[in-house]
Every structure is written in structure tokens, then in C-alpha cells.
Structure 1
Amino acid sequence: MSDDPVYAVILDLVDSRTLDDRPAAQREVEQAFRETTDVTPVDPVHATVGDEFQVIYATLTDALVASTAAMLALPPTVQVRLGMGRGTVRTVGSGTSGPLQDGPAWWSARDAINETHRREDGRTSFLRSWFHASDDRHDTEERLVNAYFLSRDHVMARLTPRTRRIALGLVQGRTQAQIAATEGITPSAVSQSVQKSGVAAIVEGLRVLVGQER
């Protein structure tokens, strides 16, 4: 891979040992990260060891949009936690499933998912995501992204199946009228749901972070 920094993401299944259908959950995670948006990853999502997955994105925008959409697309019974790391990735060998990778991006992603676990076990049990920058653990990007993750994950934990679908539609760029038609409700009902559920914070916060504020 090149020397340009990328955004590496490590995922794992929440409470994987208690899932009724673990193979189905595995497939749902892979499908959500592959098909929910038109984002093209540098290295597509793939299962690694145990209940973990890995994926690499070229930009912060790609990583945030893809991960937010995928988490919204998953059924309520399947949750993932993630650690995102910024830095370089290098190939250090080859294995049966493809190239073996290492580098600061993966080290930071591992530290980040460990931090997600730590915080999830503390005062922020709703948290499912954390981000570390390999070159500076206190830079502005890291603080802003983690602030967004705290609010996003808190709202997402309280969403109903319908409000999750509404949020996903907005993240995908669909209009409220289009979402209303799909859901069989009025645009006004969609608008009220967006405001009351906190979906507006997920969608508008994402737009601000990726530079698409309106």
C-alpha cells in the first residue's frame, strides 16, 4: 500500500456468544458494510479471527458515512462495536485469506476498539465506537470525531426499527418525501420522527463533520 494515511476499522460483534444465529449475524455485518452505501473501501470488509472484521477507507468521510449507514442497517439483534485508526498501512506478508497487514493505522484501530470496550463498561454503556489518530492522540480531528461518536451512539441506542430506517435513508441521501413513500406515512410524520428521535443530530452532525453542512 502507499504511504498515504488511511482509516483502518476493526469491528467486533457485541455479545457474539449469545446470538441465536451467529453465522447469519456474520453475513448481516458483511452485507451492511458492503451494500448500504456507494462508498468504495480501499480494502473491503472481511472477517478475520473470532467475531472480528476489518475494513480500510481512504478518507474520514468514507469511514464515517459507511460505518454510520452500516450500523443503522443492521437489525436490532445484531450490534457491532468499532475502533477506527488513522495512519499508514503496510503489507508484511501473505496469508491464506490475503495479504498480511501491519502499521500505525491498525495499531491505532486496535487501541481504539479497546477504548470502546473500556468506555462501554463504564459510564457510557451505549458507546460502540472510538477513533485514534496514530500521529497525535489529542488533535482536533480525533476530538471532534469522538464527540460525534458519543452523541451518535447514544441516539442510535434508543431508535426504533422505523426511525433507524428513516435515519439510514437520510444518510444515504434520500429525501423525506421518498422515505415517507417507502414507509407508507406522510412526509410530516417523517419530519416529526426525525426531530423527536434525535435522528437530526446523527444526520446533521455527520454532514458537519464531512463538510457537507447546509
Structure 2
Amino acid sequence: MVIAVVADIVGSRKLDDRSAAQRVLDKTIALVEQDIPLASQPLTPTVGDEQQGVYRRLEDALISLLMIQLRLPDGVGFRFGVGIGAVSSVESVHRELADGPGWYAAREAIETVHAKEGRTVPRSRTWIVGAPGQDEVMESTIAASNAYLLVRDELVGAMSERERRLTYGRLIGRSQLDLADEEGITQPSVSKSLRNAGSTAILDGVVALRGGTS
């Protein structure tokens, strides 16, 4: 199983400085991979506002994409289309071109995100589609994962930039005291922010994705 991810930038045409935004995205992806390396091919710009990446396992992709969402500052964001299926490359005189049912599924997934975002779920940012031929277990896994993602994106989308930073810090194992010192606030304030933002649910979800219990 291969997990293909297509990402595009939210509101890319409205950004005041597209180049500066791309530098923020590149730095964020690099920092996430440094903190918890999960991608077999980290998200890399391809053309326009699109990026592509590959993961070995669905849970790795979901954790890594969450980390990117949490780490990005206000004003810069991604949508993610996650495709499950085989991927290949096509030789070109310019560069290798991504191809295969995994990529087709990822594109279908990101189109679904656009549709949901534009209608009834404006904070939707992530969706999964399986290429044809998935077994019943994977189909059930995809359905359950999409239900989880709808709620996860809603929680993350409602967070302030500080709340996302604090949640990210806890996800990578930093203590509340360290985070309080960095933010210039008290440890009880960190705890209150995490509680009010629903961060515990997000963090427990990561534990569940890793196969553990909280």
C-alpha cells in the first residue's frame, strides 16, 4: 500500500506575497520532518500552488499532515487530498511525472475537500480516497478515517495560532513548562489553552493512530 498526497495552498491567489508564503510552507514541512520523520517522500512543490508527497502508511500520513496544519502560522494553509493505491512515474525530457491510481485517487480526494469547503464544511482540509480494488477492510478504514478527519479539521480550524503551537509542542513531547516559558505565559495558562481548544482530543487521536491507548 502506498499513500499519495496532493496538497494545494488555501487562498493562494489572494496571498500578498506568494514567494514568502512558499518559504513558510517549505520551512514548516522541513521542521515537521525533522521533529517526527514519517514521509518516504516529503511534500515537495510541483507546479503552481501544488505539492506532492508519499507515505508508507495511512497513519503516518495523517499524523504528518496534522503536524503541518498545527505548525503553520495564520494566513497560510494547505488542503490535502490523500490517495491510497499504487504510484508510478512517467519519464519526460523535463522531469519524472507522477502517475498511477494512487495519484488519481489523491486528486479526487482534494476535489472533495474543495467541494466540502465551499459548501457546508468550510474548515474541511483533508480527505481520503482509495483507488479501485480496495478490500472491505480498507474501505471501512477509509470511511472511519474520513469521519475522524472531518472532526479533527473542525477542531484545528477553530484554534488560534498560539493554541496550534501549544498543541504541536505537546504532540512532539515538549512539557507544558517549556511551552509556557517559550510563550511567556504561565503553565496553568498553557493547560487552560489546551483544554479550551480541545487539544487533548487531538493528541489522544494521535496516540490511537499510533496504535496505543491514552
- Partner Cα distance (2:87, 2:149) in 1: 24
- Partner Cα distance (2:107, 2:174) in 1: 34
Q: Residue in 1 aligned with 2:60?
A: 62
Gaps of 5+ in 1: none
Of residues 73-82 and 26-35 in structure 1, the stretch that sits farther from structure 2 once superposed is 26-35
- Partner Cα distance (1:51, 1:137) in 2: 33
Q: Aligned residue pairs: how many?
A: 209
Identity %: 37
Change (3 A) 1:208 1:19: same
Q: Residue in 2 aligned with 1:108?
A: 105
Amino acid paired to 2:129: H
Runs of 4+ in 1 over 4 A off after TM superposition: none
1:62 alignment partner, SS class: helix
Change (3 A) 1:108 1:187: same
- Partner Cα distance (1:144, 1:183) in 2: 36
TM-score, reference length from structure 2:
0.90
Q: Residue in 1 aligned with 2:209?
A: 209
Q: Residue in 2 aligned with 1:154?
A: 154
Deviations 1:139-177 (A, max 9, x none): 221122212211111111111121111111122222323
Which of the two has greater helix per residue? 2
1:83 alignment partner, SS class: strand
Deviations 1:72-122 (A, max 9, x none): 1111110111101111111221453x4222112111101100000111111
- Partner Cα distance (2:135, 2:109) in 1: 11
Report if the CA contact (8 A) 1:84-1:113 is conserved.
Answer: yes
Change (3 A) 1:179 1:212: farther
Deviations 1:181-212 (A, max 9, x none): 32233332222211111112221122212313
Gaps of 5+ in 2: none
Alpha-carbon offset, residue 40 of structure 1 = 4.2
Report if the CA contact (8 A) 1:41-1:55 is conserved.
Answer: yes
- Partner Cα distance (2:211, 2:90) in 1: 35
Report if the CA contact (8 A) 1:34-1:45 is conserved.
Answer: no
Report if the CA contact (8 A) 2:38-2:64 is conserved.
Answer: no
TM-score, reference length from structure 1:
0.90
Note the 1:74-89 alignment, pairs <5 A.
Answer: 74-89=72-87
